[in-house]
Amino acid sequence: MIEAGAVRGVPRDLARALVTQVLTGSAAWLRAGRREVATLREKVCAPGGADIRRIAALDRHGVRAAVVSALGDAPPGLSPR
C-alpha cells in the first residue's frame, strides 16, 4: 500500500502514516467485537466506488488466494480444532 502511494507521487512518510492509520483502524474495528471483515468492507466501500474496485483488482490478481495458500499450512498449535 505504501508503494502504491509512492508510485502515485505521495511522499513515502505520508503514505506510511496513511497506511498505518488504515490498518490500525481496521484492527481496532475488528477487535471491538465479533465482527466479520465483510461487514467492514460493506461499511467502507460504496457500490461501484474506488475502494470496491481496488478490492476487485486484488481478486483478479489472485491476492486473496495467494494469502490463503501461503497461510494454509499453519503450525499445529494454530490449526482449528
Query: Which residue in this structure is represented by grid cell 461501484?
Result: 48
Query: Could you tell me the pTM of the whole model?
Result: 0.69
φ and ψ at 61, to 5 degrees? -90, 5
Three-state DSSP class for residue 9 = coil
Q: What is the per-residue pLDDT across 27-59, written as a single tens digit (0 to 9) for each?
A: 898 888 877 888 888 888 999 999 999 999 999
Joined grid coordinates for residue 15: 503514505
Quick check: 75 pLDDT over 80?
no
| Residue 2: how many other CB atoms lie within 10 Å | 16
Residue ranges in the chain assigned as alpha helix (H): 2-7, 12-31, 37-44, 50-60, 63-71
